[in-house]
Structure formats: C-alpha cells, structure tokens
Amino acid sequence: MQEIVLVTGGTGYIGSWVVKMLLEKGYTVRMTVRNKGKKESYAFLSEIASIAKGSLEIWEADLLKEGSFEEAATGSDAIIHLASPFTLRFKDAQKELIDPAVKGTKNVLQAATKSGTVKKVVLTSSVAAVHGDNIDMKEQGLEEFTEEQFNTSSSLTHQPYSYSKVMAEKEAWKIHDAQEFWKLVVINPSFVMGPSLSPASNSESLSFIKDMLSGKYYLGAPELMFGFVDVRDVAKAHVLALENEMAAGRHILAERTTGVYEASQLIKGKFGNKYKLPLMRSPKAMLYMVGWMFGLTRKFIQRNVGHTIRLNSSKSTEKLGLTYTSLDKTLEDMVLQMQKDKVVS
Ligand code: NAP
C-alpha cells in the first residue's frame, strides 16, 4: 500500500471525495491547492481529517507554474492528478482550458519522474478523451465506445473542454512511456453526478443540475445523451486504481447512458412537481433557433443532439471491481445535498 499520496485538485467536486476516502483509509494525503491562504476552500477537508485515520497536508502548487509540484512530489509514494478546469464558461479556451490541462499534466508527471519516490500515477481523464461528438460512434462504424478509442473530433474551436482532456491524456501516456519509475492508470469518467462535499467547486456537474432544477430547460430539454456516473463511485475507482497492483490502462466509468430529459424524469419521480423540470424533449429544429441561449453552436447541435451513444464500462467492474450506484439514487442524493446546502430550495 502506498502511504503518502499527492492529490491535485482535492478541493474540487470529485477530488474532495477522493481525499475523504483516502483519509478514512488512513493515508497521508498531500493535497496541493493554488492558494494556501484561501483556507475556506479546504477547511471542510481539514475537518474530515481531524476525525479520520489518515492525515492531511496542504501544499501550494499551480498547474501553470513549471516545477511547481516537484517539492510536494518528492517523498510521495503515488500521485492522483485530478486538477483541471471543468467549465464550459470561458473566454479564451487556450488559456483557460488547454494550458492548465496539458501544461499541468506535464508539470505533475515530470515531478513524478524527478521525485525518485513515486511508483504510481492515477490520472483523471474523461470519456471526453475517448470520444468527442456523439455522432462519432456512427461515423466510426462503432457499436459502442471502449477504452480503445481516442477523441478525434474535438479541437480548440469545437468542444475545447473535450480537446483539453484528450490532449492532456495523450501527453500523460507520452511522458509515461519515456520513463520506467512509475506506472500510469487512467480513469475516464462520464458525466459525474451526486452530492458535493466541496463548497467552492465550479464544476459543470453542479451547474447542470442546478440549472435543471431552476427551470432552465423547462420548455424543453435538448435531446442529448450522456453517460452518467456517481461521484462517490468515481472516487472509489481512483482508490481502487491506486491500490490494485494489476490495474493498468484506461477505465471508462458509466452507470448508464441516457438523455437529459430521461435523467430529469428520474428526479421528477422522487421530488414530483417541486422543480420546473423539462416538460418535454426540445425538437432539434427548435434548438437550431434557440441553442445560442444555452451556449450550443449549430455544429454542436448537428453532431450531438439526437445521436445515440453507448459506453462500455465493463473493464471498470471486471478489472477494478467497481460496483455502480443507480442513477436514481445518485440524483436523489444530489438534490437532497443541494437542498441541505441551500443551493436550491
Ligand atoms: P472542479 O470541482 O472544478 O475541480 C477542479 C479542480 O482543479 C479544483 O480543485 C481546482 O482548484 C483545480 N484547478 C483548476 N485549475 C487549476 C490550476 N491552474 N492549478 C491548480 N489547480 C487547479 O471539477 P471536477 O468536476 O471535480 O473535475 C475534476 C477532474 O475530473 C477534472 O480533471 C475533470 O476534467 C475531470 N472530469 C470531470 C467530470 C465531471 O463530470 N465532473 C467528468 C469526467 C472527468 P481550485 O480550488 O484552486 O480552483
């Protein structure tokens, strides 16, 4: 068992669950934050650490600063690299998405090599590094996406977040293949849902459900299909990847693939008419007219809306031993957490 684990992005939506699980298992977690003085971004984790078996160290490092992770990596047995912006609200995709994802991965993994102590790196990639547009499946003549595919349809101007993830994962494999000190295991979650521990996350996972509950899609939900997975299962997958000696390669995580409207109906099934959930699926023709209001480009609508995707996540159950929480329970717990924290009424 690795004892000191360096975690980047531990203050975030997924990262905070990873840190919590590691602390409860007795690890020493060396968590990097951009600004150590901003205690409110990690106070909730210090509180968890105060009653957990493990201990929490706070180190300062920035994805964009070369050499920034070297000190924290030295002496660590393993690294879980989660930090990367997950936002669809940006002005400059290169600066706000691609640079932190790609340069950040390079900085963190070079620090792993230099450390002389790190034996394993678990990288949080995404299914966005497996495929870009939903139509890719049909265009590539596939029945489903597996860990064999890499996203070839995203670019700096079309789905730049997905582009940031595929470029970062490729960079990680390149750096891994050029050394022999540490092993790389990659986790590729689909759209992550479920309760948040973090008060400061800007994750799109949280905005998506908040928007849905606030009535953003009331008149019609885009006919968009995603894979969905529980945040607690994603964190568990990271810990399993860390601890399992046999873990190798990439791992798609998805409990199921389903549409936005269908997901909203699961919430409706639990909470009735309390929220202004979508009344119907929005016709594609209508979306071409109003899509800009939701930040959807014509090309995005054309290549994603109404196109089915299937994700094969069997490797995660067979090789990591992951079991999945049902999406109904995931969404119910997420809404209850948002109510408790007064994110929604
Ligand atoms: P999140 O809550 O926004 O967390 C992102 C984390 O990255 C935060 O801890 C943030 O730290 C850190 N970060 C961002 N820019 C940084 C920088 N320049 N230097 C250092 N740290 C920086 O998002 P999340 O949803 O948990 O996502 C975590 C990871 O999972 C990302 O790699 C994301 O691509 C991946 N992922 C997410 C989903 C999903 O549906 N949520 C699905 C697949 C993959 P600060 O507190 O300093 O901002």
The predicted pLDDT at position 303 comes to 98
Q: At what angle do helices 231-243 and 13-25 cross, to 10 degrees?
A: 50
Structural contact between residues 19 and 45, judged by C-beta atoms closer than 8 angstroms? yes
Average pLDDT, the chain: 96
In this prediction, residue 13 carries a pLDDT of 97
Q: How far is the CA of 87 from the centre of ligand 1 (A)?
A: 9
Atom of ligand 1 nearest to the CA of 200: 46
Task: Give kind and range of the element (H or E) at residue 59.
Answer: strand 55-60
Please report the pLDDT score of residue 197 as a whole number. Answer: 97
Q: What is the pLDDT of residue 329?
A: 98
Q: Is the pLDDT of residue 207 over 60?
A: yes
Report how far ligand 1's centroid is from the alpha carbon of 34 (Å).
Answer: 12
Cα–Cα distance between 205 and 194 in angstroms, integer?
9
Q: Say whether pLDDT at 89 is over 90.
A: no
- Rounded-to-integer distance, Cα 295 and Cα 335, Å: 24
**pLDDT band at residue 109 under the 50/70/90 scheme:** very high
Please tell me the residue having the least CA distance from ligand 1 atom 3: 203
Q: How far, in Å, are 1, 83, 124, 301, 335 from residue 56 at the CA level?
A: 17, 17, 21, 44, 29
Instruction: Output the CA 9–ligand 1 centroid distance in Å.
Output: 6
CB of 82 closer than 6 angstroms to any ligand 1 atom: yes
Atom number of ligand 1 nearest to Cα 34: 47
C-alpha pair distances (Å), 308 with each of 154, 201, 311: 18, 30, 10
pLDDT(212) > 70: yes
By annotation, the residues acting in catalysis are 165
At residue 283, the pLDDT reads 87
- Average pLDDT value for residue range 233-242: 98
41 lines ligand 1 (CB under 6 A): yes
- Residue 277 near residue 212, CB atoms below 8 Å: yes
Nearest-CA residue for ligand 1 atom 44 is: 126
334 contact partners, CB below 8 Å, separation of at least 6: 193, 194, 195, 196, 209
| Predicted local confidence at residue 2, as pLDDT | 52
- Name the CATH superfamily, with its identifier, for domain 4-340: NAD(P)-binding Rossmann-like Domain (3.40.50.720)
Within 10 Å of residue 20's Cβ, how many Cβ atoms?
21
pLDDT, tens digit (0-9, with 9 covering 90-100), for 151-171: 999 999 999 999 999 999 999
Q: Domain boundaries in the chain? A: 4-340
The C-alpha atoms of residue 225 and residue 234 are separated, in whole angstroms, by 19
Instruction: Look at residue 258 in the predicted model and tell me its pLDDT.
Output: 98
- Of 29, 99, 203, the residue with max ligand 1 atoms within 8 A of its CB, to mutate for a pocket test, comes to 203
How far apart are the C-alpha atoms of 93 and 313, rounded to whole Å? 29
Contact 149, 134 (CB under 8 A): no
Which tens digits make up the pLDDT trace of 47-69?
999 999 999 999 999 999 999 99
Which tokens go with 85?
């912006």
pLDDT of 88 strictly over 90: no
Helices (H) then strands (E): counts for the chain: 14, 12
- Residue pLDDT, tens place only, 121-142: 999 999 999 999 999 999 999 9
Whether residue 84 has pLDDT greater than 70: yes
Asked if residue 85 has its Cβ within 6 Å of ligand 1, the reply is yes
Model pLDDT, residue 131: 98
| Beta carbon of 84 within 6 Å of any ligand 1 atom | yes
| CB-ligand 1 contact for 196 (6 Å cutoff) | no
Please report which confidence band the pLDDT of residue 202 belongs to, taking 50, 70 and 90 as the band edges: confident
- In short, whether 15's Cβ falls inside 6 Å of ligand 1 is yes
Whole-number Å distance, alpha carbon 120 to ligand 1 midpoint, is 20
Q: Are 327 and 263 in contact (CB under 8 A)?
A: yes
Ligand 1 within 6 A of CB of 64 = yes
Q: What is the pLDDT of residue 292?
A: 84
Q: What residue type is 210 in one-letter code?
A: K
Would you state the pLDDT for residue 129? Answer: 98
